[in-house]
């Protein structure tokens, strides 16, 4: 960990919406290449980057579409520059193929999805949380991903930095799953001085070109990168490849590569997962939530507690990889999980899987377009506690 270049750190106390805060998080994290395509409700991130980047040594380009945006981000990152794109549902769908390329080539980069109501064009200006499973499974093939879900403008700033750090540490695209409410909600955002911010730098090899294999992993299962133009003359491909980066079309190579791509996340979940708990010990009901729904759940939980119910809150800051050990462990001690989300049941499936019948799991669905009425979550808690 090092401190970032202060030129990108807008130290001070600000009044920002989540989109602008995320843009500042990128600037602070050392992101110096942005390639994107306008789409509501993420556009403000692009606009702020377009405004800020020329003054902090950054490169901004509005690409012709989202397919191009994510491709350029992968290229920019291979060029050694921390790179980001932002989008919303329809654009997120278009990015899926090259998110897979980012997984396969192991390219550090950040993709922000400010979620809106779907399917299709859906509700461009209104919130949703229905891309959560797409974040996990959207690109074809088997892989693990890292996805974070901020619930405030402050966290949009903080978690954008964290997303860049995770992407550099584990060498993969990291998704920041915002939602329209968090993106357009304006609150106090404190940006610390650069010397109080930690950033992970590109993990470059110190081997000489004749000893370097681009896909030979370190002990944490992550291979180190090589800078371009320095004599390494490496090859990288979306095809299944060996440690040289050369295509090899057989089941053994597939097993070695894909299993490592999965295991570099699965075996390191303790270093990746961040959750927030409140009143979970001794609780009868635990509300599992993320993003804007975690804010909406607060009055419902408080109301239930005022009636004497033992209600805990577990907030997913890291949604993927899913904190399955903790959910399993708690399931044996509580009566029920309550899961409010702006979809008809996505993360609840994971909660239910991990609960494995040891406690009830109750979804509080909402199709998106607005947030839950806290009263509905409260009623679900009451029902679940019975």
Partner 1 sequence: MTVTQSEIKHANGTPEHPKSLLLRMDRMPHIWCSRCGIGIAVGCFAAALEKAGLSPDDITVTSGIGCTGRTAGYVKVDSFHTTHGRAIPFAVGLVMARPDLKHVVFSGDGDLISIGGNHFIHAARRNQDLLVICVNNFIYAMTGGQLAPTTPTTARATTAPYGSFERPFNLPALAAGAGADYVARWTALHVRRLTDSIEEALHREGFRFIEIIAPCSTIYARRNKLGTGLDLMKYYYENAVIDHDANLNDLDIGFQSKIIVGKFVDEKRPSFSAAMDSHMRKVLGNKYVPPKPGGAS
Torsion angles phi and psi, residue 383, rounded to 5: -65, -45
Q: Give the separation between CA 12 and CA 15, rounded to whole angstroms.
A: 10
In this structure, how many other beta carbons lie within 10 angstroms of the beta carbon of residue 177? Answer: 26
Shortest distance (Å) from residue 193 CB to partner 1 = 16
Listed residue (254, 271, 245, 252) closest to 107, CA to CA: 245
Torsion angles phi and psi, residue 341, rounded to 5: -150, 155
Q: 79 or 119: whose CB is closer to partner 1?
A: 79
Q: Is 8 helix (H, G, I), strand (E, B) or coil?
A: helix
Shortest distance (Å) from residue 72 CB to partner 1 = 4
Shortest distance (Å) from residue 82 CB to partner 1 = 6
Binding residue for partner 1, selected from 227, 345, 365, 367, defined by CB under 8 A: 227
Site track for partner 1 across 100-119, x = CB under 8 A: xx---x--------------
Site track for partner 1 across 158-197, x = CB under 8 A: ----------------------------------------
Q: Give the separation between CA 92 and CA 258, rounded to whole angstroms.
A: 23
Binding residue for partner 1, selected from 10, 67, 298, 376, defined by CB under 8 A: 67
Query: Of the ranges 92-100, 258-266, 282-290, 367-375, which one interacts with partner 1 (CB under 8 A)?
Result: 92-100
Q: 78 or 92: whose CB is closer to partner 1?
A: 78
Is 10 in contact with 27 (CB distance < 8 Å)?
A: yes
Q: 75 or 345: whose CB is closer to partner 1?
A: 75
Identify residues 233-292 at the interface with partner 1 (CB under 8 A).
233-239, 246-247
Q: How many residues bind partner 1 (CB under 8 A)?
A: 56
Q: Is 322 in the site for partner 1 (CB under 8 A)?
A: no
Q: 82 or 360: whose CB is closer to partner 1?
A: 82
| Strand bridging mode 311-316 / 275-278 | antiparallel
Residue 196 burial (10 A CB sphere; 0-12, 13-18, 19+): exposed
Contacts of 58 (CB under 8 A, 6+ apart): 8, 27, 31, 32, 33, 34, 49, 52
Between CA 170 and CA 90, with CA 106 as vertex, the angle to 5 degrees is 100
Q: Is 51 in the site for partner 1 (CB under 8 A)?
A: no
Q: 100 or 279: whose CB is closer to partner 1?
A: 100
CA-atom Rg of the chain in angstroms: 21
Is 178 in contact with 22 (CB distance < 8 Å)?
A: yes
Binding residue for partner 1, selected from 16, 49, 74, 146, defined by CB under 8 A: 74
Shortest distance (Å) from residue 153 CB to partner 1 = 24
Q: Is 76 in the site for partner 1 (CB under 8 A)?
A: yes
Shortest distance (Å) from residue 110 CB to partner 1 = 14
Q: Give the separation between CA 17 and CA 11, rounded to whole angstroms.
A: 16
Binding site for partner 1 (CB under 8 A): 2, 4-5, 7-8, 30, 32-33, 35, 54-59, 61, 63-65, 67-69, 71-83, 97-98, 100-101, 105, 201, 227-239, 246-247
């Amino acid at each position: 960990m090092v401190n970032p270049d202060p030129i990108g750190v807008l130290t001070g106390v600000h009044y920002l919406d989540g989109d602008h805060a995320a843009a500042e998080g990128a600037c602070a994290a050392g992101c110096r290449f942005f390639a994107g395509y306008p789409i509501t409700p993420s556009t403000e991130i692009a606009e702020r980057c377009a405004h800020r980047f020329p003054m902090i040594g950054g490169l901004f380009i509005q690409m012709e579409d989202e397919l191009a945006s994510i491709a350029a981000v992968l290229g920019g990152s291979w060029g050694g520059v921390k790179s980001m794109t932002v989008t919303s549902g329809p654009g997120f769908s278009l990015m899926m193929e090259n998110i897979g390329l980012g997984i396969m080539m192991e390219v550090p980069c950040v993709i922000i999805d400010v979620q809106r109501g779907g399917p299709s064009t859906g509700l461009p200006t209104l919130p949703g949380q229905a891309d959560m499973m797409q974040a996990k499974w959207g690109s074809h093939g088997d892989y693990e991903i890292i996805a974070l879900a901020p619930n405030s403008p402050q966290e949009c700033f903080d978690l954008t930095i964290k997303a860049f750090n995770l992407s550099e540490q584990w060498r993969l695209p990291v998704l920041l799953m915002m939602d329209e409410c968090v993106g357009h909600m304006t609150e106090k955002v404190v940006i610390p001085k650069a010397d109080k911010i930690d950033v992970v730098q590109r993990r470059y090899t110190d081997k000489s070109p004749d000893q370097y294999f681009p896909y030979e992993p370190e002990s944490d299962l992550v291979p180190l990168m090589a800078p371009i133009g320095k004599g390494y003359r490496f090859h990288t491909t979306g095809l299944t490849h060996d440690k040289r980066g050369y295509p090899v079309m057989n089941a053994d190579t597939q097993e070695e590569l894909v299993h490592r791509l999965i295991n570099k996340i699965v075996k390191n979940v303790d270093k990746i997962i961040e959750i927030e708990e409140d009143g979970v010990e001794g609780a009868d009901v635990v509300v599992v939530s993320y993003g804007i729904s975690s804010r909406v759940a607060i009055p419902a939980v408080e109301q239930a507690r005022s009636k004497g119910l033992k209600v805990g809150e577990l907030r997913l800051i890291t949604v993927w990889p899913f904190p399955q050990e903790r959910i399993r462990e708690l399931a044996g001690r509580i009566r029920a999980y309550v899961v409010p989300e702006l979809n008809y049941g996505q993360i609840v499936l994971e909660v239910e899987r991990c609960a494995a019948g040891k406690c009830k799991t109750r979804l509080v669905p909402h199709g998106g377009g607005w947030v839950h009425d806290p009263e509905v979550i409260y009623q679900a808690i009451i029902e679940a506690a019975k």
